[in-house]
A and B are shown apart, each in its own frame.
Chain A
Amino acid sequence: MATTEIARPAASAAVPQIAAHDVRPERTGWTSWVTTTDHKKIGIMYLVLTFVFFIMGGVEALLIRLQLSQADNTLLTPQKYNELFTLHGTTMIFLFVVPVMAGFGNYLLPLMIGARDMAFPKLNALSFWLLAAGGVVFYASIFFSPPECGWTCYTPLAESSYLPSGGVDAWIYLIHLTGLSSLIGAINFYATIANMRAPGMGWGRLPLFVWAILVYAILLILALPVIAGAVTLLLTDRHFGTHFFDPTSGGSPLLWQHLFWFFGHPEVYIMVLPGFGIISEVIPVFARKPIFGYKAVAASTVVIAFLGLLVWAHHMFSTPSPTVVLVFFMMSSFLIAVPTGVKIFNWIGTLWRGTIEFTTPLLYCVGFIGTFLIGGITGIFVAIFPIDWQLTDTYFVVAHFHYVIVGGAVFAVFAGVHYWFPKITGRMMSEPLGKLSFWLVLIGFHVTFFVQHAIGLDGMPRRVYEYPDVGHLELYNLISTIGSFILALGVGVIVINVVRSLKRGAVAGPDPWKANTLEWFTQSPPPVNNFDTIPRIRSVEPMKDIRREVARQADRLAALQPAATVASMGPETQGTV
């Protein structure tokens, strides 16, 4: 585990060193977190807060599955059920998957490009606190009346004549606050990547995770203003007498659907592209091979983002729309499968002829590829609009998008947590617990969601609080519920592993995985200023170059002065010269 490097010989200053000094004494205690503008502390707060929301969204999901475990169940009232799936969807999308990627981005992006912080540290802190405010406003509604219109809040149902309570308004403010948070964060990411890269790090040497965060930022900047406008129109409809979405006064409910999905589909790529980025970082490290087709992987990220802006109405195939519209959105959705397929082929190409080390992060990456592939394939079914007429708004679609979002984002997040935990905390996570969590999550996920394809094909629509005991519906739903608890157990093991490893994990050292990117060129956890010296970047794998250089110099020294000065140091003392 410990990296073996060479001590600095007194005479030679040319040997690359992991050296960093604190500039000022760090603040301690809780005020240091509240007042911080350090991207690492903000990143950690993002990760912790979003995981709290993830657990809350997960509990809501378990309640939903409990209600559906039996036909004609009366555990929850229809109102409570509608509130729960609205909370679940909104929480997972706006308070977990999108901001957790911002959390990874915040923590890692400056480290990966050799910067000392983000471009705008104070704006960065503002992003986090806006997110926290959005979550608080939204969850405050559970003490009054939570929204019950689903995470899509379709009009006219979301208009005040049908849902007069404040729940929808809480949802609107959540969209505004988290949207503003993401927008500010996105501008910050873009400015940081554009201006603060290490010397020599051209666009062709940008780590693929940074490419993903760059495209994530651009998509957020393009898509968020649209939803911000749409929810503002909804707000004025609800409270200030406008009729944008009210058909009885010349408004259009379909306008809402178009605006929502014009944001909503790029949102899917906002969620999965950073996940793709994590996978593209982790696989080469544990296959001990460079990424296969760096340019193709980076380019496909850009192409997916571009096409992702042109497919929104495939969520609306059953609305009254002309055939030409249906055909256009079917074809654009088909097109997006090509760059996505290219990515999957390149990941498998990276594994091919490698020497694969089955660590927990790699297992989650592999689980990601296998799971996401199924989501991609069912995506072809729902892209063909005559078939979608049978599948849309059923459990088939529920299964499809969970395969995409859990397969494409959450598995990647878990890979990222296990991979970067040593960097963030300085300690390793337990591998046996990590592997246990992987198998529980993988099996739990597929037991929960695979059978949901069949539930949908059997004719069960989504968002129904009860169903009759016909066909195999009750059996399938029970299987799904059991799976959801296995999945929850797996997530529980991850939480236990994280908490336990904080104190008891093995000390990691700066570069426990022998990784490729620059964040491993500093202590774990990194000091406030990240790096004292920033190396010149000569390839897409700067750490590999540095290790090679160190080894070469060690060889040279060994040849000059046999044995005496070549010493192996404990990892914890490295870098604190």
Chain B
Amino acid sequence: MTIIPPALRPPRPFPTTRRRLALALAAVTVVSLAAAGPAFANFWTPESGGSPNADRIHSLYVIVLVVAGVVFFGVEGALLYALFRFRARKGAVAAQIRGNTRLEIGWTIGAAVILVVLATVTFIKLPGIRNPDDSGPGGLQTAGAPILTAQVDNRQPPNGKSLRIAVNGQQYIWRYTYPDGDSNTLNNPFSYTEMVVPTDTTVTLDIRAQDVAHSWWVPKLGGKFDAVPGYTNHTWFKIPAKFAGATFAKGTVFTGQCAELCGRNHANMIARVRAVTPAQFEQWIAQRKSDVAQADDTAAAGRKKLDAQLNGQ
């Protein structure tokens, strides 16, 4: 019987049973992690559900997560296997290998191919995320009416109709200005902190800032868009009809907050979006309009009184 010294033995091939075991372990880990997902909502994925673009970002993220998971388990597995299998033992001799050009080219191309696949998926998904959808049939039905504006200087849905709201970031509050159909924006209805929008209606936002940089973000309605002074940024969302309530107060409220450091009170620069039915929305807009008009009248009357007092003296 000849005894081959360990150094001269050919390296043992990866035993198939062990390979099966490793695969099974990886599969169990993946499955249990996937199962843990729903238990801890948003542990593994970004928030979504309030708007198609947020949902599409979510599904793109999930695809990337799966690819990333495969890469993670593959590389960490190879690392741990190497550490376990090739630890210093009596009689073991390190193979003096200096490299392998074919292997180098292979894993370079392999990495590139994965990235090409991810880029392709991204480009397929991109238009649905970036470009607004048309409003649904249950949306604000005032086609042709001035409240839905067709514009060319921002991204619009294919039919060119959306509810276009101006978002203005300022230390430390968000202000929303709603369209009223005329070119004078000084008398438009507006609100602070809480934006009210009709469901099933495409809402496009013109995001600006008046002091420092802020960032508009309501996670369930899609990504962040910075409000940078001197620039206008754009995004959109369309909240499904199911989120509106029977009454105005029962409408679902989506919360978010400023995501760009804007000063000491950055943490409290909250944004809320209340989803209501188109009818409730129109009613609310009318109410805001009359409130604004009434406040203007009161102010005008007060000014007149003050003028009279000053002139009388």
- Chain A positions near chain B (C-beta within 8 angstroms): 78-79, 82, 148-150, 154-157, 162, 247-248, 251-254, 287-296, 318-320, 323, 330-331, 334-335, 337-338, 341-342, 344-346, 348-349, 351-358, 366, 369-370, 373-374, 377-378, 380-381, 384, 386-394, 454, 457-459, 461, 463-467, 471-472
Contacts and interface: CB of A to CB of B under 8 A. Distances in A.
Contacts of B71: 377
Contacts of B268: 466
A387 B41 CA distance: 18
B108 A338 contact: yes
Given A253-B213, A351-B79, A381-B61, 13 more contacts: A157-B263, A320-B225, A351-B82, A352-B82, A353-B86, A381-B64, A384-B122, A386-B56, A390-B223, A454-B43, A457-B45, A463-B266, A464-B257
5 contacts: A154-B261, A293-B99, A319-B226, A378-B68, A466-B268
Contacts of A291: 98
A394 B61 CA distance: 16
B68 A154 contact: no
B23 interface: no
Contacts of B234: 320
Contacts of B205: none
Contacts of A148: 264
B64 A370 contact: no
Contacts of A391: 46
Contact of A342 (B54, B56, B108, B119): B108
Given A352-B86, A459-B256, A254 B79 contact: no
Contact of B60 (A355, A384, A393): A384
Interface string B22-64: 0000000000000000001111111100000010110011001
A380 B118 contact: yes
B40 A454 contact: yes
A390 B61 contact: yes
B119 A370 contact: no
Nearest to B207: A320
Given A342-B111, A386-B57, A289 B213 contact: no
Given A352-B82, A354-B86, A394-B259, A344 B75 contact: yes
B215 interface: yes
9 shortest interchain CB distances as A-B pairs: A389-B223, A247-B230, A464-B267, A293-B99, A353-B95, A288-B94, A320-B233, A390-B46, A341-B111
| Residue from A338, A378, A459 with most neighbouring chain B CB atoms (10 Å) | A459
B47 A457 contact: yes
Contact of A471 (B41, B224, B265): B41
Contact of A319 (B88, B119, B129, B228): B228
Contact of A149 (B87, B223, B261): B261
A465 B99 contact: no
Nearest to A357: B88
B11 interface: yes
B72 interface: yes
B76 interface: yes
Contacts of A341: 107-108, 111
Contact of A386 (B86, B115, B223, B266): B223
A384 B118 contact: yes
B180 interface: no
Nearest to B233: A320
B126 interface: yes
B99 to A, nearest CB: 4
Interface residues on B, range: 35 or more
Nearest to B231: A320
A366 B261 contact: no
B258 A154 contact: no
Given A373-B76, A463-B261, A345 B224 contact: no
Nearest to A369: B79
Nearest to A467: B267
Interface string B205-240: 000000111010101001111101111111000000
Nearest to A252: B230
Contacts of A387: 46, 57, 60-61, 64
A393 to B, nearest CB: 4
B96 A290 contact: yes
Given A356-B83, A391-B46, A318 B263 contact: no
B112 interface: yes
A64 to B, nearest CB: 13
A360 B18 CA distance: 29
B262 interface: yes
Contacts of B11: 353
Contacts of B86: 287, 351-356
B270 to A, nearest CB: 9
Interface in B239-272: 256-268
Contacts of A465: 266-267
B212 A156 contact: yes
B60 to A, nearest CB: 6
A289 B122 contact: no
Contacts of B217: 393, 461
Given A341-B107, A471-B41, A162 B47 contact: no
Contacts of B126: 386
